Structure 1
Amino acid sequence: MVFSSLLFLFLFLPAVLILYYCSPRRIRNLLLFITSLIFYAWGEPVYIVIMLVSTLADYFFGLLLDKPSLSALKRKGIVILSIVISLTLLSYFKYADFLIQNLNALFDTDIPLTELPLPIGISFYTFQSMSYIIDVYRGTAKAQRNWIDFGAYVALFPQLVAGPIVKYSTIAQQLHHRSESIELFAEGIRRFTIGLAKKVLLANNIGLLWDSISSSQPGTLPMFMAWLGIIAFAFQIYFDFSGYSDMAIGLGLMFGFRFNENFNKPYTAESITDFWRRWHISLGSWFREYVYIPLGGNRHGLLKQARNILIVWLLTGLWHGASWNFILWGLYFGVILMIEKWWGLKLLSTLPRWARHVYAIVLILIGWVLFAFETPSLIVGYLSAMAGLNNQPIWNSETGYLLYTNAILLVVLVIVALPKKQEARANGMSLLQVVWYGFLFLLSIAYLVDATFNPFLYFRF
Structure 2
Amino acid sequence: MIFSSIFFLFTFLPVSLALYFISPMKMKNLTLLAVSLFFYAWGEPVYVLLMISSILINFAYGIFIEKLKIENKMALRKVVFLTAVLFNIFIIGFFKYFGFITDNINLIFNAGIVSRDLPLPIGISFYTFQVLSYIIDVYLGKVKLQKNPVSFALYVTMFPQLIAGPIVRYSDIDSQLENREISSHKFGEGALRFIQGLGKKVLIANNMGALWNLTYALDVSTMSAFSAWLGIIAYTFQIYFDFSGYSDMAIGLGRMFGFEFIENFDHPYVSKSVTEFWRRWHISLGTWFREYVYIPLGGNRCSKIKQIRNIMAVWMLTGLWHGASWNFVIWGIYYGCLLLIEKMFLKKFLDSMPGIFSHIYCMLAVITGWVFFAIEDIGVAKHYLHIMSGFSKNPFVDSASLYYFQSYAVILVISALFCTPLFKKIFSPEENTDNKLQYSIAALLHVFILIMSTAYLVTETYNPFLYFRF
TM range (shorter): over 0.9
Q: Which amino acid aligns with 2:295?
A: I
| Equivalent-residue separation in structure 2 for 1:188 and 1:417 (angstroms) | 21
Give aligned pairs, total.
461
Give 1:21's aligned residue.
21
1:49-91 CA distance string (max 9 Å, x none): 1111111111111112222114222222122111111110101
Of 249, 262, 265, which residue of structure 2 is paired with 1:263?
265
Give 2:77's aligned residue.
75
Q: Which amino acid aligns with 1:425?
A: E
Contact residue 272 and residue 360 of structure 1 kept, 8 A: yes
Q: Is structure 2 residue 429 aligned with structure 1 residue 423? A: yes
| Equivalent-residue separation in structure 2 for 1:177 and 1:226 (angstroms) | 51
Contact residue 429 and residue 439 of structure 2 kept, 8 A: no
Q: Which amino acid aligns with 1:435?
A: L
Give 1:173's aligned residue.
175
Q: Which amino acid aligns with 1:302?
A: K
Give 1:302's aligned residue.
304
Q: Which amino acid aligns with 2:185?
A: E
Computed over aligned residues only, the root mean square deviation of the Cα atoms, in angstroms, reads: 1.3
| Equivalent-residue separation in structure 1 for 2:41 and 2:157 (angstroms) | 11
Give 1:442's aligned residue.
451
Q: What is the TM-score of this pair, normalised by structure 2?
A: 0.96
| Equivalent-residue separation in structure 2 for 1:31 and 1:10 (angstroms) | 19
Residue 66 of structure 1: SS of its match in structure 2? helix
Q: Is structure 2 residue 334 aligned with structure 1 residue 332? A: yes
Q: Which amino acid aligns with 1:141?
A: V
Q: Is structure 2 residue 460 aligned with structure 1 residue 451? A: yes
1:177-200 CA distance string (max 9 Å, x none): 001111100000000000000000
Q: What is the TM-score of this pair, normalised by structure 1?
A: 0.98
Structure 1 unaligned regions, length at least 5: none
| Equivalent-residue separation in structure 2 for 1:55 and 1:455 (angstroms) | 29
Measure how far apart 1:209 and its partner are.
Answer: 0.5
Contact residue 153 and residue 175 of structure 1 kept, 8 A: yes
Residue 356 of structure 2: SS of its match in structure 1? helix
Of 216, 227, 240, which residue of structure 2 is paired with 1:225?
227
Measure how far apart 1:252 and its partner are.
Answer: 0.1
Give 2:7's aligned residue.
7
Contact residue 247 and residue 264 of structure 2 kept, 8 A: yes
Q: Which amino acid aligns with 1:29?
A: N
| Equivalent-residue separation in structure 2 for 1:388 and 1:292 (angstroms) | 38
Contact residue 219 and residue 390 of structure 1 kept, 8 A: no
Residue 406 of structure 1: SS of its match in structure 2? helix
| Equivalent-residue separation in structure 2 for 1:169 and 1:444 (angstroms) | 35
Q: Which amino acid aligns with 1:267?
A: Y
Tell me which moved more, 416-425 or 267-276: 416-425
Measure how far apart 1:426 and its partner are.
Answer: 5.1
Structure 2 unaligned regions, length at least 5: none
Contact residue 219 and residue 385 of structure 1 kept, 8 A: no
Contact residue 200 and residue 444 of structure 1 kept, 8 A: yes
1:304-324 CA distance string (max 9 Å, x none): 000000000000000000000
Contact residue 202 and residue 236 of structure 1 kept, 8 A: yes
Give 1:285's aligned residue.
287
| Equivalent-residue separation in structure 2 for 1:396 and 1:217 (angstroms) | 13
Q: Percent identity?
A: 50
Give 1:385's aligned residue.
387
For residues 172 and 426 of structure 1, do their structure 2 counterparts lie closer, same or farther at Cα, with a shift above 3 Å needed? farther
| Equivalent-residue separation in structure 1 for 2:380 and 2:444 (angstroms) | 46
Measure how far apart 1:116 and its partner are.
Answer: 1.0
Contact residue 222 and residue 395 of structure 2 kept, 8 A: no
| Equivalent-residue separation in structure 2 for 1:75 and 1:434 (angstroms) | 54
Residue 218 of structure 1: SS of its match in structure 2? coil
Q: Is structure 2 residue 256 aligned with structure 1 residue 254? A: yes
Q: Which amino acid aligns with 2:287?
A: S
| Equivalent-residue separation in structure 1 for 2:406 and 2:413 (angstroms) | 11
Give 1:408's aligned residue.
410
| Equivalent-residue separation in structure 2 for 1:326 and 1:143 (angstroms) | 36
Give 2:135's aligned residue.
133
Contact residue 65 and residue 137 of structure 1 kept, 8 A: yes
Give 1:433's aligned residue.
442
1:168-223 CA distance string (max 9 Å, x none): 00000000000111110000000000000000000001111000011123332111
| Equivalent-residue separation in structure 2 for 1:238 and 1:76 (angstroms) | 40
Q: Is structure 2 residue 161 aligned with structure 1 residue 159? A: yes
